[in-house]
Structure 1
Amino acid sequence: MSDVAALLNPHHAGASHDPHRHSDAHDEAALRVQLAGTYRVFAMLGWSELIYNHITVRVPGPQRHFLINPFGLHYTEVRASNLVKIDLDGNVIGNTAYRANPAGFVVHAALHRALPDAHCVMHTHTTAGLAVACSQAGLENSNFYSAQLHGMVAYHDFEGITIHDDEGPRLVANLGDRRLMILRNHGLLSMGSTIAQAFARLWTLNRACEIQLATAAFGAPRMISDDIAARCTRDSLQFDPRHGAGQDVLDALLRQVERIDPSYKE
Protein backbone atom coordinates (compact mmCIF):
# COMPACT_ATOMS: atom_id res chain seq x y z
CA MET A 1 0.00 0.00 0.00
CA SER A 2 1.44 3.42 -0.96
CA ASP A 3 1.79 6.19 1.61
CA VAL A 4 -1.10 8.07 0.03
CA ALA A 5 -3.29 4.99 -0.13
CA ALA A 6 -2.49 4.31 3.50
CA LEU A 7 -3.45 7.83 4.43
CA LEU A 8 -6.72 7.49 2.57
CA ASN A 9 -7.50 4.16 4.26
CA PRO A 10 -8.45 4.75 7.91
CA HIS A 11 -8.19 1.01 8.62
CA HIS A 12 -4.57 0.52 7.59
CA ALA A 13 -2.24 -1.18 10.03
CA GLY A 14 -1.32 0.98 12.99
CA ALA A 15 -4.14 3.47 12.43
CA SER A 16 -5.40 5.39 15.41
CA HIS A 17 -9.05 5.41 16.41
CA ASP A 18 -8.92 9.18 16.89
CA PRO A 19 -11.44 10.62 14.35
CA HIS A 20 -9.51 13.91 14.17
CA ARG A 21 -6.40 12.02 13.18
CA HIS A 22 -8.35 10.24 10.45
CA SER A 23 -9.63 13.59 9.19
CA ASP A 24 -6.14 15.09 9.20
CA ALA A 25 -4.77 12.06 7.33
CA HIS A 26 -7.52 12.28 4.72
CA ASP A 27 -6.91 16.02 4.32
CA GLU A 28 -3.18 15.43 3.95
CA ALA A 29 -3.77 12.84 1.25
CA ALA A 30 -5.96 15.27 -0.71
CA LEU A 31 -3.40 18.04 -0.19
CA ARG A 32 -0.62 15.80 -1.48
CA VAL A 33 -2.54 15.18 -4.70
CA GLN A 34 -3.23 18.88 -5.23
CA LEU A 35 0.35 19.89 -4.47
CA ALA A 36 1.85 17.23 -6.73
CA GLY A 37 -0.51 18.36 -9.47
CA THR A 38 0.57 21.96 -8.93
CA TYR A 39 4.20 20.97 -9.42
CA ARG A 40 3.13 19.47 -12.75
CA VAL A 41 1.27 22.71 -13.56
CA PHE A 42 4.47 24.66 -12.94
CA ALA A 43 6.32 22.33 -15.31
CA MET A 44 3.59 22.73 -17.93
CA LEU A 45 3.89 26.53 -17.67
CA GLY A 46 7.69 26.43 -17.93
CA TRP A 47 8.15 27.57 -14.34
CA SER A 48 10.48 24.77 -13.24
CA GLU A 49 14.19 25.45 -12.65
CA LEU A 50 15.93 22.12 -13.33
CA ILE A 51 15.53 20.36 -9.93
CA TYR A 52 15.51 23.56 -7.87
CA ASN A 53 12.97 25.89 -6.24
CA HIS A 54 9.96 24.85 -4.20
CA ILE A 55 6.27 24.99 -3.49
CA THR A 56 5.66 24.23 0.18
CA VAL A 57 2.34 23.72 1.94
CA ARG A 58 1.45 23.17 5.57
CA VAL A 59 -0.02 19.80 6.52
CA PRO A 60 -3.28 19.83 8.54
CA GLY A 61 -2.96 19.02 12.22
CA PRO A 62 -1.38 20.41 15.38
CA GLN A 63 2.20 19.84 14.23
CA ARG A 64 3.90 22.46 12.07
CA HIS A 65 4.83 20.08 9.29
CA PHE A 66 5.10 20.85 5.60
CA LEU A 67 5.19 19.09 2.26
CA ILE A 68 7.99 19.81 -0.18
CA ASN A 69 9.28 18.30 -3.42
CA PRO A 70 11.85 15.51 -3.16
CA PHE A 71 15.26 16.98 -3.93
CA GLY A 72 16.76 15.66 -7.13
CA LEU A 73 13.50 15.10 -9.02
CA HIS A 74 12.19 17.29 -11.81
CA TYR A 75 8.75 18.79 -11.28
CA THR A 76 7.35 16.33 -13.84
CA GLU A 77 8.45 13.48 -11.56
CA VAL A 78 6.72 14.74 -8.42
CA ARG A 79 3.90 12.51 -7.19
CA ALA A 80 1.60 12.61 -4.19
CA SER A 81 3.42 9.67 -2.64
CA ASN A 82 6.97 11.02 -3.01
CA LEU A 83 6.38 14.47 -1.56
CA VAL A 84 8.56 14.81 1.54
CA LYS A 85 7.15 15.88 4.92
CA ILE A 86 9.47 18.16 6.91
CA ASP A 87 9.41 20.32 10.01
CA LEU A 88 10.28 24.02 10.26
CA ASP A 89 13.98 23.18 10.43
CA GLY A 90 13.85 21.12 7.26
CA ASN A 91 14.15 17.78 9.06
CA VAL A 92 12.42 14.89 7.29
CA ILE A 93 9.40 13.46 9.12
CA GLY A 94 8.66 9.75 8.70
CA ASN A 95 10.19 7.20 6.37
CA THR A 96 10.96 8.14 2.78
CA ALA A 97 13.46 7.16 0.12
CA TYR A 98 13.84 10.84 -0.78
CA ARG A 99 15.41 13.84 0.87
CA ALA A 100 14.57 17.51 1.06
CA ASN A 101 16.86 20.44 0.30
CA PRO A 102 17.12 22.23 3.66
CA ALA A 103 19.08 25.13 2.17
CA GLY A 104 16.27 25.83 -0.28
CA PHE A 105 13.73 25.79 2.55
CA VAL A 106 15.29 28.71 4.47
CA VAL A 107 13.11 31.39 2.87
CA HIS A 108 9.98 29.24 3.07
CA ALA A 109 10.64 28.39 6.73
CA ALA A 110 10.97 32.05 7.68
CA LEU A 111 7.58 32.82 6.13
CA HIS A 112 5.80 29.73 7.43
CA ARG A 113 7.18 30.40 10.91
CA ALA A 114 6.16 34.07 11.07
CA LEU A 115 2.89 34.21 9.12
CA PRO A 116 -0.11 32.17 10.30
CA ASP A 117 -1.88 32.66 6.94
CA ALA A 118 1.10 31.58 4.82
CA HIS A 119 0.00 27.97 4.50
CA CYS A 120 1.45 27.78 0.99
CA VAL A 121 4.64 29.47 -0.23
CA MET A 122 5.80 29.46 -3.87
CA HIS A 123 9.13 30.60 -5.29
CA THR A 124 10.12 30.90 -8.95
CA HIS A 125 13.02 32.04 -11.12
CA THR A 126 11.04 32.60 -14.33
CA THR A 127 12.82 34.67 -16.97
CA ALA A 128 10.28 37.50 -16.81
CA GLY A 129 10.10 37.50 -13.01
CA LEU A 130 13.86 37.46 -12.61
CA ALA A 131 14.31 40.16 -15.27
CA VAL A 132 11.97 42.50 -13.40
CA ALA A 133 13.67 41.58 -10.13
CA CYS A 134 16.98 42.63 -11.70
CA SER A 135 15.65 45.94 -13.00
CA GLN A 136 16.16 49.19 -11.15
CA ALA A 137 12.46 50.11 -11.34
CA GLY A 138 11.08 46.75 -10.25
CA LEU A 139 7.43 46.13 -11.14
CA GLU A 140 6.00 49.03 -13.14
CA ASN A 141 2.37 50.03 -12.90
CA SER A 142 1.87 49.83 -16.63
CA ASN A 143 -0.40 46.93 -17.59
CA PHE A 144 -3.66 45.16 -16.88
CA TYR A 145 -2.05 42.65 -14.53
CA SER A 146 0.18 44.99 -12.53
CA ALA A 147 -2.88 47.21 -12.02
CA GLN A 148 -4.49 44.38 -10.05
CA LEU A 149 -1.55 44.26 -7.64
CA HIS A 150 -1.58 47.82 -6.33
CA GLY A 151 -0.05 47.85 -2.85
CA MET A 152 0.34 44.07 -2.83
CA VAL A 153 4.02 43.61 -3.75
CA ALA A 154 6.94 43.94 -1.34
CA TYR A 155 10.69 43.95 -2.08
CA HIS A 156 13.69 42.38 -0.43
CA ASP A 157 17.26 43.24 -1.41
CA PHE A 158 19.62 40.52 -2.56
CA GLU A 159 21.86 39.11 0.18
CA GLY A 160 23.33 36.21 -1.76
CA ILE A 161 22.20 32.59 -1.92
CA THR A 162 19.43 32.17 0.64
CA ILE A 163 21.02 29.60 2.93
CA HIS A 164 21.52 31.72 6.06
CA ASP A 165 18.81 31.70 8.74
CA ASP A 166 19.61 35.24 9.88
CA GLU A 167 18.17 36.61 6.63
CA GLY A 168 14.70 35.35 7.55
CA PRO A 169 13.70 38.14 9.99
CA ARG A 170 14.76 40.83 7.51
CA LEU A 171 12.74 39.17 4.75
CA VAL A 172 9.65 38.97 6.97
CA ALA A 173 10.08 42.61 8.04
CA ASN A 174 10.32 43.74 4.41
CA LEU A 175 7.23 41.72 3.52
CA GLY A 176 5.04 43.43 6.13
CA ASP A 177 1.36 42.76 5.47
CA ARG A 178 1.85 41.96 1.78
CA ARG A 179 1.78 38.45 0.39
CA LEU A 180 3.74 38.90 -2.83
CA MET A 181 7.42 39.72 -2.91
CA ILE A 182 10.04 40.46 -5.50
CA LEU A 183 13.39 39.20 -4.30
CA ARG A 184 15.68 41.70 -6.01
CA ASN A 185 18.17 40.10 -8.42
CA HIS A 186 16.66 36.73 -7.51
CA GLY A 187 13.01 35.96 -8.34
CA LEU A 188 9.40 35.98 -7.16
CA LEU A 189 7.66 34.82 -3.98
CA SER A 190 3.98 34.24 -3.35
CA MET A 191 2.07 33.21 -0.24
CA GLY A 192 -1.51 32.15 0.33
CA SER A 193 -3.87 30.50 2.76
CA THR A 194 -4.38 27.83 0.07
CA ILE A 195 -2.36 26.48 -2.84
CA ALA A 196 -4.86 28.04 -5.24
CA GLN A 197 -4.64 31.50 -3.68
CA ALA A 198 -0.83 31.48 -3.72
CA PHE A 199 -0.93 30.32 -7.34
CA ALA A 200 -3.41 32.99 -8.45
CA ARG A 201 -1.28 35.68 -6.88
CA LEU A 202 1.93 34.34 -8.39
CA TRP A 203 0.44 33.87 -11.85
CA THR A 204 -0.80 37.47 -11.89
CA LEU A 205 2.56 38.83 -10.77
CA ASN A 206 4.48 36.71 -13.26
CA ARG A 207 2.09 37.71 -16.06
CA ALA A 208 2.60 41.39 -15.16
CA CYS A 209 6.34 40.81 -15.42
CA GLU A 210 5.97 39.11 -18.81
CA ILE A 211 3.99 42.04 -20.22
CA GLN A 212 6.43 44.54 -18.74
CA LEU A 213 9.33 42.68 -20.35
CA ALA A 214 7.59 42.64 -23.74
CA THR A 215 6.62 46.32 -23.47
CA ALA A 216 10.23 47.32 -22.86
CA ALA A 217 10.97 46.50 -26.51
CA PHE A 218 8.84 49.51 -27.50
CA GLY A 219 10.51 51.99 -25.18
CA ALA A 220 8.98 53.82 -22.26
CA PRO A 221 5.67 52.26 -21.14
CA ARG A 222 2.38 54.08 -20.80
CA MET A 223 1.88 54.22 -17.04
CA ILE A 224 -1.37 53.69 -15.12
CA SER A 225 -2.28 56.14 -12.39
CA ASP A 226 -2.28 55.00 -8.78
CA ASP A 227 -5.97 55.75 -8.33
CA ILE A 228 -6.96 53.64 -11.34
CA ALA A 229 -4.68 50.81 -10.18
CA ALA A 230 -6.15 50.96 -6.69
CA ARG A 231 -9.64 50.65 -8.18
CA CYS A 232 -8.54 47.74 -10.38
CA THR A 233 -7.16 45.95 -7.34
CA ARG A 234 -10.41 46.48 -5.43
CA ASP A 235 -12.43 45.26 -8.42
CA SER A 236 -10.30 42.15 -8.97
CA LEU A 237 -11.94 39.20 -7.22
CA GLN A 238 -9.54 36.41 -8.17
CA PHE A 239 -7.65 36.41 -4.85
CA ASP A 240 -10.77 36.75 -2.68
CA PRO A 241 -11.76 33.58 -0.76
CA ARG A 242 -15.42 34.60 -1.18
CA HIS A 243 -14.95 34.10 -4.92
CA GLY A 244 -12.86 30.94 -4.88
CA ALA A 245 -9.43 32.59 -4.47
CA GLY A 246 -8.17 31.04 -7.70
CA GLN A 247 -9.46 27.52 -7.10
CA ASP A 248 -11.40 27.40 -10.38
CA VAL A 249 -8.28 28.44 -12.28
CA LEU A 250 -6.08 25.86 -10.56
CA ASP A 251 -8.71 23.14 -11.08
CA ALA A 252 -8.81 23.92 -14.81
CA LEU A 253 -5.03 23.59 -15.06
CA LEU A 254 -5.05 20.37 -13.03
CA ARG A 255 -7.51 18.95 -15.57
CA GLN A 256 -4.97 19.73 -18.29
CA VAL A 257 -2.25 17.97 -16.28
CA GLU A 258 -4.61 15.02 -15.81
CA ARG A 259 -4.94 14.64 -19.58
CA ILE A 260 -1.17 14.84 -20.07
CA ASP A 261 -0.08 12.50 -17.26
CA PRO A 262 -2.30 11.49 -14.31
CA SER A 263 0.62 9.83 -12.48
CA TYR A 264 0.95 12.86 -10.20
CA LYS A 265 -1.94 11.40 -8.14
CA GLU A 266 -0.06 8.19 -7.34
Structure 2
Amino acid sequence: MALVLDRYPDITYDAAPSQIDDPEELRLLRQWEVAIGYRIFAALRWGQIGDGHITARDPILTDHFWVLGYGIRFGDATVESLTLVGPNGQGVAGPVGNGVNFAAYHIHWPILDARPDVVSAAHTHTPFGTAWSANVAPFRAISQESCGFVFDQALYEGENLEISDVGGGEAIARAMGNSRVCILRNHGLLTAGRSPAEAVGWFVAAERVAEVHVKAPDARAVSEEAAKEVEASLYTADMGWRMFQWLARDLVPDPSVVLT
Protein backbone atom coordinates (compact mmCIF):
# COMPACT_ATOMS: atom_id res chain seq x y z
CA MET A 1 0.00 0.00 0.00
CA ALA A 2 1.37 3.40 -1.00
CA LEU A 3 2.25 5.76 1.82
CA VAL A 4 -0.30 8.61 2.05
CA LEU A 5 0.62 11.55 4.26
CA ASP A 6 -1.52 14.43 3.01
CA ARG A 7 -4.59 13.08 4.82
CA TYR A 8 -5.24 10.99 7.89
CA PRO A 9 -6.31 7.34 7.71
CA ASP A 10 -9.87 6.46 8.63
CA ILE A 11 -10.49 5.70 12.29
CA THR A 12 -12.34 2.42 12.63
CA TYR A 13 -12.65 -0.02 15.51
CA ASP A 14 -10.02 -2.22 13.93
CA ALA A 15 -7.71 0.56 12.69
CA ALA A 16 -4.03 -0.09 13.34
CA PRO A 17 -0.69 1.53 12.49
CA SER A 18 0.48 1.08 8.91
CA GLN A 19 2.95 -1.74 8.33
CA ILE A 20 5.69 -0.21 6.18
CA ASP A 21 8.41 -2.45 4.74
CA ASP A 22 10.29 0.09 2.66
CA PRO A 23 12.89 1.78 4.92
CA GLU A 24 12.75 5.09 3.04
CA GLU A 25 8.97 5.25 3.40
CA LEU A 26 9.24 4.25 7.06
CA ARG A 27 11.74 7.06 7.61
CA LEU A 28 9.32 9.54 6.05
CA LEU A 29 6.39 8.24 8.11
CA ARG A 30 8.37 8.64 11.33
CA GLN A 31 9.46 12.15 10.36
CA TRP A 32 5.86 13.05 9.53
CA GLU A 33 4.61 11.78 12.90
CA VAL A 34 7.35 13.68 14.74
CA ALA A 35 6.43 16.91 12.95
CA ILE A 36 2.71 16.42 13.62
CA GLY A 37 3.57 15.63 17.24
CA TYR A 38 5.43 18.92 17.67
CA ARG A 39 2.44 20.79 16.23
CA ILE A 40 0.13 18.99 18.66
CA PHE A 41 2.35 20.15 21.52
CA ALA A 42 2.32 23.69 20.13
CA ALA A 43 -1.48 23.71 19.86
CA LEU A 44 -1.61 22.72 23.53
CA ARG A 45 0.72 25.66 24.30
CA TRP A 46 3.60 23.43 25.30
CA GLY A 47 7.23 24.10 24.43
CA GLN A 48 6.73 27.85 24.11
CA ILE A 49 10.08 28.57 25.74
CA GLY A 50 11.93 25.90 23.77
CA ASP A 51 11.49 23.21 26.42
CA GLY A 52 10.94 19.68 25.24
CA HIS A 53 11.62 17.29 22.40
CA ILE A 54 10.10 14.47 20.37
CA THR A 55 12.51 12.05 18.72
CA ALA A 56 12.34 9.11 16.34
CA ARG A 57 14.91 6.43 15.65
CA ASP A 58 16.00 6.41 12.03
CA PRO A 59 15.05 3.04 10.45
CA ILE A 60 18.15 2.99 8.24
CA LEU A 61 20.81 4.50 10.49
CA THR A 62 19.39 2.88 13.59
CA ASP A 63 21.82 4.52 16.02
CA HIS A 64 20.68 7.97 14.77
CA PHE A 65 17.50 9.85 15.62
CA TRP A 66 15.43 12.71 14.21
CA VAL A 67 14.52 15.78 16.30
CA LEU A 68 13.26 19.28 15.52
CA GLY A 69 16.08 21.57 14.43
CA TYR A 70 17.27 23.81 17.23
CA GLY A 71 15.65 27.25 17.33
CA ILE A 72 12.61 26.23 15.28
CA ARG A 73 9.21 26.92 16.85
CA PHE A 74 7.17 23.79 17.60
CA GLY A 75 4.26 25.19 15.61
CA ASP A 76 6.48 25.49 12.52
CA ALA A 77 7.65 21.87 12.55
CA THR A 78 7.86 20.16 9.16
CA VAL A 79 9.57 17.07 7.84
CA GLU A 80 12.28 19.28 6.35
CA SER A 81 12.90 21.06 9.66
CA LEU A 82 14.06 17.89 11.44
CA THR A 83 17.72 17.24 12.19
CA LEU A 84 19.29 13.80 12.06
CA VAL A 85 21.55 13.35 15.09
CA GLY A 86 24.29 10.73 15.26
CA PRO A 87 25.42 8.68 18.27
CA ASN A 88 28.12 11.26 19.01
CA GLY A 89 25.53 14.04 19.33
CA GLN A 90 26.42 15.71 16.06
CA GLY A 91 23.86 16.74 13.45
CA VAL A 92 24.47 14.98 10.14
CA ALA A 93 21.43 15.99 8.05
CA GLY A 94 18.71 18.60 8.03
CA PRO A 95 19.07 22.02 9.68
CA VAL A 96 22.28 22.05 11.70
CA GLY A 97 23.28 25.71 11.51
CA ASN A 98 21.95 26.52 14.99
CA GLY A 99 23.54 23.45 16.54
CA VAL A 100 21.83 20.41 18.06
CA ASN A 101 19.39 20.28 20.95
CA PHE A 102 21.81 18.68 23.38
CA ALA A 103 19.17 18.12 26.05
CA ALA A 104 17.34 15.93 23.53
CA TYR A 105 20.55 14.05 22.78
CA HIS A 106 21.48 13.55 26.44
CA ILE A 107 18.04 12.24 27.37
CA HIS A 108 16.75 10.50 24.26
CA TRP A 109 19.80 8.81 22.79
CA PRO A 110 20.48 6.67 25.90
CA ILE A 111 16.81 5.62 26.02
CA LEU A 112 16.73 4.64 22.35
CA ASP A 113 20.07 2.89 22.75
CA ALA A 114 18.90 0.90 25.79
CA ARG A 115 15.51 -0.06 24.38
CA PRO A 116 15.39 -1.73 20.95
CA ASP A 117 11.60 -2.01 21.39
CA VAL A 118 11.29 1.78 21.37
CA VAL A 119 11.26 4.00 18.28
CA SER A 120 10.37 7.32 19.86
CA ALA A 121 10.43 9.31 23.09
CA ALA A 122 8.58 12.49 24.04
CA HIS A 123 9.18 15.02 26.79
CA THR A 124 8.24 18.62 27.49
CA HIS A 125 7.48 20.73 30.55
CA THR A 126 3.73 20.79 31.09
CA PRO A 127 1.55 22.52 33.71
CA PHE A 128 0.42 19.37 35.47
CA GLY A 129 3.09 16.81 34.63
CA THR A 130 5.79 19.05 36.04
CA ALA A 131 3.66 19.93 39.06
CA TRP A 132 2.88 16.31 39.86
CA SER A 133 6.52 15.26 39.40
CA ALA A 134 7.44 17.56 42.31
CA ASN A 135 5.61 15.13 44.59
CA VAL A 136 8.08 12.40 43.56
CA ALA A 137 5.25 9.88 43.54
CA PRO A 138 3.76 7.50 40.96
CA PHE A 139 0.29 7.74 39.46
CA ARG A 140 -2.60 6.09 41.28
CA ALA A 141 -5.78 4.56 39.86
CA ILE A 142 -7.94 7.62 40.46
CA SER A 143 -9.36 8.07 36.94
CA GLN A 144 -10.11 5.96 33.90
CA GLU A 145 -7.03 7.25 32.07
CA SER A 146 -4.85 6.61 35.13
CA CYS A 147 -5.54 2.90 34.85
CA GLY A 148 -3.53 2.85 31.62
CA PHE A 149 -0.38 3.81 33.51
CA VAL A 150 -0.53 2.48 37.07
CA PHE A 151 0.82 -0.92 36.03
CA ASP A 152 3.25 0.46 33.46
CA GLN A 153 5.12 3.43 34.92
CA ALA A 154 8.46 4.34 36.44
CA LEU A 155 9.82 7.06 38.71
CA TYR A 156 13.23 8.68 38.27
CA GLU A 157 14.34 10.18 41.58
CA GLY A 158 17.59 11.84 40.49
CA GLU A 159 17.98 15.51 41.41
CA ASN A 160 19.91 16.34 38.23
CA LEU A 161 17.19 18.43 36.61
CA GLU A 162 19.61 19.68 33.97
CA ILE A 163 20.59 16.56 32.04
CA SER A 164 23.99 17.81 30.91
CA ASP A 165 25.53 14.55 29.69
CA VAL A 166 24.55 11.10 28.45
CA GLY A 167 25.25 9.71 31.92
CA GLY A 168 22.14 11.51 33.13
CA GLY A 169 20.14 10.02 30.28
CA GLU A 170 21.49 6.57 31.04
CA ALA A 171 20.31 6.92 34.63
CA ILE A 172 16.84 7.87 33.39
CA ALA A 173 16.84 4.91 30.99
CA ARG A 174 17.73 2.53 33.84
CA ALA A 175 14.96 3.93 36.02
CA MET A 176 12.45 3.83 33.17
CA GLY A 177 13.11 0.20 32.35
CA ASN A 178 10.44 -1.13 30.00
CA SER A 179 7.74 1.33 31.09
CA ARG A 180 5.72 3.53 28.75
CA VAL A 181 5.92 6.56 31.07
CA CYS A 182 8.56 7.81 33.47
CA ILE A 183 7.90 10.55 36.00
CA LEU A 184 11.08 12.61 36.26
CA ARG A 185 11.47 14.04 39.74
CA ASN A 186 10.74 17.81 39.82
CA HIS A 187 11.07 17.80 36.03
CA GLY A 188 8.01 16.37 34.34
CA LEU A 189 6.91 13.46 32.19
CA LEU A 190 8.70 11.29 29.64
CA THR A 191 7.02 8.70 27.42
CA ALA A 192 8.30 6.10 25.00
CA GLY A 193 6.57 4.31 22.15
CA ARG A 194 6.94 2.02 19.18
CA SER A 195 6.31 5.05 16.98
CA PRO A 196 6.30 8.84 17.41
CA ALA A 197 2.50 8.72 17.25
CA GLU A 198 2.37 6.30 20.15
CA ALA A 199 4.88 8.27 22.26
CA VAL A 200 2.91 11.50 21.72
CA GLY A 201 -0.44 9.84 22.40
CA TRP A 202 0.85 8.41 25.67
CA PHE A 203 2.38 11.75 26.63
CA VAL A 204 -0.85 13.73 26.25
CA ALA A 205 -2.76 11.03 28.13
CA ALA A 206 -0.17 11.09 30.94
CA GLU A 207 -0.47 14.88 31.23
CA ARG A 208 -4.22 14.51 31.67
CA VAL A 209 -3.65 11.90 34.34
CA ALA A 210 -1.26 14.28 36.10
CA GLU A 211 -3.93 16.99 35.98
CA VAL A 212 -6.38 14.77 37.84
CA HIS A 213 -3.73 13.99 40.44
CA VAL A 214 -2.93 17.66 40.99
CA LYS A 215 -6.55 18.77 41.14
CA ALA A 216 -7.76 15.92 43.33
CA PRO A 217 -4.99 15.47 45.93
CA ASP A 218 -7.28 13.53 48.28
CA ALA A 219 -8.76 11.30 45.59
CA ARG A 220 -9.78 7.79 46.49
CA ALA A 221 -8.33 5.17 44.16
CA VAL A 222 -10.27 2.26 42.74
CA SER A 223 -9.19 -1.25 43.61
CA GLU A 224 -6.34 -2.96 41.79
CA GLU A 225 -8.83 -5.43 40.35
CA ALA A 226 -11.02 -2.64 38.93
CA ALA A 227 -7.97 -0.81 37.54
CA LYS A 228 -6.78 -3.97 35.77
CA GLU A 229 -10.22 -4.41 34.18
CA VAL A 230 -10.02 -0.89 32.73
CA GLU A 231 -6.49 -1.43 31.49
CA ALA A 232 -7.42 -4.68 29.79
CA SER A 233 -10.52 -3.28 28.06
CA LEU A 234 -9.31 0.19 27.05
CA TYR A 235 -5.53 0.19 26.90
CA THR A 236 -4.86 -2.15 24.02
CA ALA A 237 -1.49 -2.30 22.28
CA ASP A 238 -2.37 0.45 19.78
CA MET A 239 -4.16 2.83 22.16
CA GLY A 240 -1.33 5.39 22.17
CA TRP A 241 -1.43 5.49 18.36
CA ARG A 242 -5.22 5.88 18.43
CA MET A 243 -5.00 8.80 20.86
CA PHE A 244 -2.56 10.47 18.48
CA GLN A 245 -5.07 10.07 15.60
CA TRP A 246 -7.77 11.94 17.52
CA LEU A 247 -5.38 14.63 18.71
CA ALA A 248 -3.95 15.19 15.25
CA ARG A 249 -7.34 15.55 13.58
CA ASP A 250 -8.47 18.06 16.19
CA LEU A 251 -5.29 20.12 16.55
CA VAL A 252 -3.59 19.72 13.15
CA PRO A 253 -6.54 19.38 10.75
CA ASP A 254 -4.40 19.48 7.59
CA PRO A 255 -1.48 17.05 7.87
CA SER A 256 -0.01 18.26 4.59
CA VAL A 257 1.29 21.39 6.39
CA VAL A 258 4.27 19.39 7.64
CA LEU A 259 5.16 18.32 4.11
CA THR A 260 5.85 21.84 2.81
Range into which the TM-score falls when normalised by the shorter chain: 0.7 to 0.9
Q: CA–CA distance in 2 between the matches of 1:115 and 1:198?
A: 14
Indicate whether 1:250 and 2:251 are aligned: no
What is the correspondence of 1:124-139 to structure 2 with a 5 Å cutoff?
124-139=124-139
Q: CA–CA distance in 1 between the matches of 2:196 and 2:32?
A: 11
Note closer, same or farther for the CA distance 1:259–1:223 as it changes in structure 2 (3 Å cut). Answer: closer
**Matched residue type, 2:248:** L
The total of aligned residue pairs comes to: 238
Q: Mark the runs of 5 or more structure 2 residues left unpaired by the alignment.
A: 1-20
What is the correspondence of 1:1-266 to structure 2 with a 5 Å cutoff?
23-94=22-93, 96-98=95-97, 99-157=99-157, 158-216=159-217, 220-238=218-236, 240=237, 244-259=238-253, 262-266=256-260
Q: Mark the runs of 5 or more structure 1 residues left unpaired by the alignment.
A: 1-21
Q: CA–CA distance in 1 between the matches of 2:181 and 2:167?
A: 21
Note closer, same or farther for the CA distance 1:255–1:136 as it changes in structure 2 (3 Å cut). Answer: closer
TM-score relative to the length of structure 1 = 0.81
Structure showing greater radius of gyration is 1
Note closer, same or farther for the CA distance 1:263–1:177 as it changes in structure 2 (3 Å cut). Answer: closer
SS of the equivalent of 1:100 reads: coil
Q: CA–CA distance in 2 between the matches of 1:264 and 1:258?
A: 10
List structure 1 segments (4+ residues) > 4 angstroms apart after TM superposition. Answer: none
| 1:43 CA displacement | 0.9
Determine the structure 2 residue equivalent to 1:10: none
| 1:229 CA displacement | 1.6
Note closer, same or farther for the CA distance 1:147–1:95 as it changes in structure 2 (3 Å cut). Answer: closer
**Matched residue type, 1:249:** M
Determine the structure 1 residue equivalent to 2:15: none
Note closer, same or farther for the CA distance 1:112–1:97 as it changes in structure 2 (3 Å cut). Answer: closer
Higher relative contact order, structure no. (Cα contacts within 8 Å, ≥ 6 residues apart): 2
Post-superposition Cα deviations, 1:194-233, rounded to whole Å, max 9, x if no partner, equal 12221232222111111122223xxx21222222222322
Determine the structure 2 residue equivalent to 1:17: none
**Matched residue type, 2:131:** A
RMSD over aligned Cα, in angstroms?
Answer: 2.2
**Matched residue type, 1:134:** A
SS of the equivalent of 1:143 reads: coil
Identity %: 23
SS of the equivalent of 1:117 reads: coil
Post-superposition Cα deviations, 1:100-152, rounded to whole Å, max 9, x if no partner, equal 21233211011011100111000121110011100154423322221222221
Q: CA–CA distance in 1 between the matches of 2:169 and 2:253?
A: 39
Q: CA–CA distance in 2 between the matches of 1:96 and 1:147?
A: 40
Note closer, same or farther for the CA distance 1:33–1:148 as it changes in structure 2 (3 Å cut). Answer: closer
